[in-house]
Structure 1
Amino acid sequence: MKHQELRYGKQNNKTSIHYLMAVLFLVSCLLTLKASAQKPASKSMNALDSTMVRQLFFSALHEKTIDNTKLATEMFERILQTDPANDASLYELANLRKRQNNYAGAQPLLEKAVSISPDNEWYWVALADSYEKSNSINKLENVFNQLIRINPDKPDYYFDKANAYLLLKRYDDALKVYNQLEQLTGPSDDILASRQKIYLKQGKIDQAAAELEKAIADNPDQIRYYLLLSEIYNSNGLNDKALKVLQQAEKLNSNSGMVHLALADIYRDKKDKDASFNQLILAFSNPDISIDQKIRIIAGYFPKFPEPNAKASALELSRILTVTHPADAKAYAIYGDMLLQNVKNKEARQAYKKSIELNEQVYAVHEQLVRIELSENDMDATIKDGENALSLFPNQGWMNYMVSVAWAQKKDFKKALTYVKNATSLEIQDKDLLSLSFSLMGDCYHDLKDNKSSDEAYDKALSYNPDNAFTLNNYAYYLSLRNEALDKAAQMSARSNELQPNTASFEDTYAWVLFKQKKYTEARVWMEKALAHDKDNSSAKYEHYGDILFYLGNTDDAVQNWKKAKDHGNQSPVLERKINEKKYIE
């Protein structure tokens, strides 16, 4: 990363062609009125024609000022039919064509205007703009020669002329113009930077460096010259020379953040990672370096993730941001991101909260916070912060979905449906979100005993993602509970196990569907897989296993598993009857 760039464009002491044209637009009406008043009538016109032209000109200017371009154009064209040498009308008509981006059409009008009135500066400026916009760069030399003739003390025209030479790759001619300009204005950073650009294009590294060394000798306390010189050395593989220059600058001003950033680049290129990082720490501790530039540097570590050193470095630099820029929400947002990358969720939550406190208008930070809260099963916080985010950003599909999940977890299925319906109505492109939302909708309708709506929602979810394993599993299980569409349920459950093998809850579902299909031997195989993979000692799985064993004729083993289900928390009356009566009961 190069932190110090040569700025070759014209800066504060120069006015570009475009700026001149903006000024020109504001004063053109006054100038053209004056030009028209002073211009004598053509010899071929009588007094009546001359009066008519003046009246028509004023009318055309009026139509132009009220943006009636079509009528204004017609009037100026009528004037030129009567008075072809009316340079003010040529100029105004050319400007109207330029408004319509018809620069090719404006050029001949302006060329004729300057031939009639060669000392009119504004005509030449307009012609220069027209040539530039139509990429007629080779014609600019004469235009700027004329502008310099008319106004020799205006630096802008010299810069423009040199830039034209630069575009034409006439580098030596451009250097001559900068020499003329320096005689006019004295040395300046703009001239220095412009020359640097040319020297580098010519491959004259020594000459470019020599000019900067002279600038340093003349202004030894100006850090920017050291930075520019080190940039030239470093970009041309002369790292040792660049380092020496920057070390001189560091001695001169140890608090310069830009020097520390440049040193970080040099040390990185020299493979001295520790020295480079130490310089970054010094730079990040400097509030004069913009936070946006620092965030871009942190982002440079992202491609190296999940390398531990890269994650740790980015985390430390982002922490320093919060110290150096304590009132900037962006500092805490990036710190939260890096904490999350380092699996420090609790600290990340606090960083995101602080960022929102400083600036609540960044949606992405709200979403990061709520995602963490949801992942940690903090449903109350998810609802609180999620609904706060929706009060600011009501049209965010994912936020509506996450709040819906939280309400569903709290068993308020009607409220959950309100939010998840919002999610599906707001987002029509994100298939992942739509699949998850319709799947959640199916869960909610199931718990509300609306089986028809539940099935429709699950089918909709699978239309967006036919391989959503959780949707396949839940849909299959609920169908089996109702003893409906068991073949469909079996296909979906089998697919969910293909997608996520060795998942106890999925294996349990498949075993239960097979049980409902009276395929008891296959059901036993899958239930034993589920028990082997079950880390929670689920009472439901022991009860299901007992049910399967009973139908396989193993009544004693069935009763033992029913008792295990009871020991693991299942206190249902039906289970109690199974144990007492030693038989399966629906």
Structure 2
Amino acid sequence: MKRSYIHKSVLFSILLLCMMLIGGGSAYSQKKKKKKSEKASETVVLSEEQVTELEHYFLEGEKYFILGDRQKAYSFFEKVLELDSDNAAANYKLGQILLENRELNKALPFANRSVELSPKNKFYYLQLANIQTTIGQLEAAEKTYFSLVENVEGTENHLFELAAIQLYQKKYDDAIVTYNLAETKLGTMEEIYQQRQQIYLKQNKLDLAIDEGKRLVGLYPNEKSHVLNLGRIMISNDRLTEAKEFLEESVKVNPDEEELFILLAEVYRKNGDPEKALQSLKVPFGSSSVDLNAKIRTLAGYLGMLPNEKLNDPLMVLGEILVGTHPDSYQALAMIGDLHYNVQEKEQARSYYLKAVKIDGSNFNIWQNILSLDMDLRDYDGAIDHANLALETFPNQSSLYYFSGTAYLIKKDYENAIKTFNTGKAYTARDNNMKSLFHGQLGDAYNSMGDHEKSDASYEAALKAKPDNDHVLNNYSYFLSLRKKDLEKAKLMSGKIVKAYPENPTYLDTHAWVLYMMEDYEGAAKYLKMALDFDPSAVIVEHYGDALFQLGRIDEALVQWKRARELSSDDSTNLETLDKKIASRQLYE
């Protein structure tokens, strides 16, 4: 039969650990041990044989514990307690096994007993505190940590655990007392000042928090994080005068510390001196070590102030510095694009946006900005090209098809417009607003091609998706009136948008034209006159003259036609008809 054995190093570990545990508890070096009975006050004396047996059980328990057989280990430690119920080390080990098995309520009595029996062993306290914290007995854990520090030398560092438990319970004053005690016992420590500062902030004791911050800066002058943190605390709590003095002095001492200039700029901005703020930002913006996102966030804070004659140029200077420092950053290029856009420099904005997507085309918002600018600049070919480029990365984005299709529609390339809209609408299934927009544009395209059946069907689909789509209500009702079809329906639709937008001259003109086609000339004249109050354009003026003519007010109609003639450009398409009306004092439709 093979003999079982334990490796010498394992045995040495067992013996070493036993000595450590026993050191704070029972002494097995004696051949006899006095033991107080739990049931009586008399002293029980262990025989030499019992002492030997007890030591054997303990070593066996420790051996199996190290080997990972917790069940056998537990049984041996139980045998230790059968011989000596006041054995602190065995109580500790049983508590340890139960703790590892997550049987915390069972572990607690053993942990308590080990501390009672050996109040100078720090490991017993730590086990007890661990169990108490885990099961939520936080006040008991506080007492355990405090007793540990009071009774065991060299354990003052555990005051930090005590303070953490107090903070968790929001016992802020108690935590302050604990940190003060830690400072008394351990001396000056960064962590103590930092924690006290955070507590004072939670308590809204701002003066005390700032005082702690100043102590940190004084004690650790080379630690820039303390300076920055104190500056941020002052700024976030609107202590701007104090922050200004502190940061201006700090930048004198640390002229190369870029982040200080960012904070100082924020103080200037909040104090209503944005020009001085922008001047301060030149230092950090010219540094590649300052976080790019921090710079971008800073510039973004000024976008809402634009356009502004005093800020436009300084901001552009910063934007150029930003791009010069980060030439390969699409975010930097997009940011200066935003600056140009906000001062209405659309060509320049688009140029920077295009440079940005050339570096990284994964930002969908930048593509949308480009396409919006294409449409604003009436560069419809550019819109089509850029939409196609964006679709290579974002093939499922319906808005890209919308931009492209609209550009084709404006170019009167109706076939490509219809093809694009039909492709794009497949990606609008869950977005009724976009679905309505696509069908509305299809309605316009089909109408322009003379396919009224498909046009009407598209408009109906658009209104089904969004019944209050004002663009569709206007165009659908107007085109029906031109065809003199479903005029009652056209009247309902145009009346709906006039009610919703009573100051929109285009909608007023459409409603008037529907009434005109229904031979309600009084109503038409009424709404056309209302439209003229908001937009005295040649078209509306001419329509008003037509309505007046139908009412038999020919002289008044002639005045309006002549007025329309003066307002019309020389290349107006209806100029010849208007001239005939004036010359013959007759209506030509």
Given the superposition, is the C-alpha separation of residues 541 and 219 from structure 1 closer, same or farther in structure 2, using an over 3 Å criterion?
A: closer
The residue type equivalent to 1:385 in the other structure is H
1:34 and 2:67 matched: yes
Unaligned runs of 5+ in 2: 1-63, 80-92, 116-120
Q: Which moved more, 1:353-362 or 1:523-532?
A: 523-532
Separation (CA, whole Å) in 1 of partners of 2:212 and 2:507: 74
Separation (CA, whole Å) in 1 of partners of 2:195 and 2:579: 92
2:288 counterpart SS class: coil
Separation (CA, whole Å) in 2 of partners of 1:509 and 1:476: 8
Separation (CA, whole Å) in 2 of partners of 1:247 and 1:149: 46
What TM-score do the two structures reach when normalised by structure 2?
A: 0.66
Separation (CA, whole Å) in 1 of partners of 2:127 and 2:360: 46
| Equivalent residue, structure 1, for 2:344 | 343
| Equivalent residue, structure 1, for 2:28 | none
| Equivalent residue, structure 2, for 1:259 | 260
Match for residue 179 of structure 1 among 179, 183, 186: 183
User: How far apart are residue 36 of structure 1 and its match?
Assistant: 2.2
2:69 counterpart SS class: helix
| Equivalent residue, structure 2, for 1:194 | 195
| Equivalent residue, structure 2, for 1:517 | 518
Q: Which moved more, 1:33-42 or 1:367-376?
A: 33-42
User: How far apart are residue 309 of structure 1 and its match?
Assistant: 6.2
User: How far apart are residue 379 of structure 1 and its match?
Assistant: 1.3
Given the superposition, is the C-alpha separation of residues 139 and 224 from structure 1 closer, same or farther in structure 2, using an over 3 Å criterion?
A: same
Separation (CA, whole Å) in 1 of partners of 2:175 and 2:553: 98
2:373 counterpart SS class: helix
Whether the 8 Å CA contact 1:249–1:259 is kept in 2: the answer is yes
Separation (CA, whole Å) in 2 of partners of 1:357 and 1:236: 42
User: How far apart are residue 267 of structure 1 and its match?
Assistant: 4.0
Separation (CA, whole Å) in 1 of partners of 2:402 and 2:448: 18
Q: How does 1:316-335 map to 2 (within 5 A)?
A: 317-335=318-336
1:362 and 2:370 matched: no
The residue type equivalent to 1:36 in the other structure is D
Unaligned runs of 5+ in 1: 1-30, 47-84, 95-105
The residue type equivalent to 1:453 in the other structure is K
Q: Which moved more, 1:342-351 or 1:307-316?
A: 307-316
1:42 counterpart SS class: helix
1:479 and 2:480 matched: yes
1:108 and 2:112 matched: no
User: How far apart are residue 266 of structure 1 and its match?
Assistant: 4.1
User: How far apart are residue 39 of structure 1 and its match?
Assistant: 5.2
Which one has a bigger Cα radius of gyration? Answer: 2
User: How far apart are residue 179 of structure 1 and its match?
Assistant: 2.7
Q: How does 1:545-560 map to 2 (within 5 A)?
A: none
Whether the 8 Å CA contact 1:520–1:552 is kept in 2: the answer is no
Match for residue 131 of structure 1 among 130, 133, 152: 133
Separation (CA, whole Å) in 1 of partners of 2:509 and 2:235: 65
User: How far apart are residue 485 of structure 1 and its match?
Assistant: 0.3
| Equivalent residue, structure 1, for 2:12 | none
Separation (CA, whole Å) in 1 of partners of 2:304 and 2:583: 63
Aligned length: 501
The residue type equivalent to 1:42 in the other structure is S
1:174 counterpart SS class: helix
Q: How does 1:208-219 map to 2 (within 5 A)?
A: 216=217, 219=220
| Equivalent residue, structure 2, for 1:102 | none
Given the superposition, is the C-alpha separation of residues 315 and 433 from structure 1 closer, same or farther in structure 2, using an over 3 Å criterion?
A: farther
Query: Larger relative CO (CA 8 A, sep 6+): 1 or 2?
Result: 1
Q: Deviations over 1:423-474 (max 9, x none)?
A: 5443356554333222112212323444333223223333454444332221
Separation (CA, whole Å) in 1 of partners of 2:498 and 2:269: 49
User: How far apart are residue 317 of structure 1 and its match?
Assistant: 4.8
| Equivalent residue, structure 1, for 2:98 | 90
The residue type equivalent to 2:105 in the other structure is P
Whether the 8 Å CA contact 1:455–1:475 is kept in 2: the answer is yes
Separation (CA, whole Å) in 1 of partners of 2:233 and 2:318: 28
2:281 counterpart SS class: helix
Whether the 8 Å CA contact 2:65–2:73 is kept in 1: the answer is no
User: How far apart are residue 262 of structure 1 and its match?
Assistant: 3.0
Whether the 8 Å CA contact 1:510–1:526 is kept in 2: the answer is yes
User: How far apart are residue 251 of structure 1 and its match?
Assistant: 2.0
| Equivalent residue, structure 2, for 1:436 | 437
Q: Which moved more, 1:291-300 or 1:400-409?
A: 291-300
Whether the 8 Å CA contact 2:522–2:551 is kept in 1: the answer is no
Whether the 8 Å CA contact 2:274–2:311 is kept in 1: the answer is no
Given the superposition, is the C-alpha separation of residues 575 and 309 from structure 1 closer, same or farther in structure 2, using an over 3 Å criterion?
A: closer
Q: How does 1:533-548 map to 2 (within 5 A)?
A: none
| Equivalent residue, structure 1, for 2:421 | 420
Separation (CA, whole Å) in 2 of partners of 1:509 and 1:459: 18
Whether the 8 Å CA contact 1:110–1:127 is kept in 2: the answer is no
| Equivalent residue, structure 2, for 1:62 | none
Identity across the alignment (%)? 25
Separation (CA, whole Å) in 2 of partners of 1:585 and 1:577: 8
The residue type equivalent to 2:418 in the other structure is L
Given the superposition, is the C-alpha separation of residues 371 and 150 from structure 1 closer, same or farther in structure 2, using an over 3 Å criterion?
A: farther
1:354 counterpart SS class: helix
Q: Which moved more, 1:119-128 or 1:486-495?
A: 119-128
Whether the 8 Å CA contact 2:132–2:138 is kept in 1: the answer is no
User: How far apart are residue 405 of structure 1 and its match?
Assistant: 1.1
Separation (CA, whole Å) in 2 of partners of 1:371 and 1:236: 40
The residue type equivalent to 1:34 in the other structure is L
Whether the 8 Å CA contact 1:339–1:348 is kept in 2: the answer is yes
User: How far apart are residue 542 of structure 1 and its match?
Assistant: 6.2
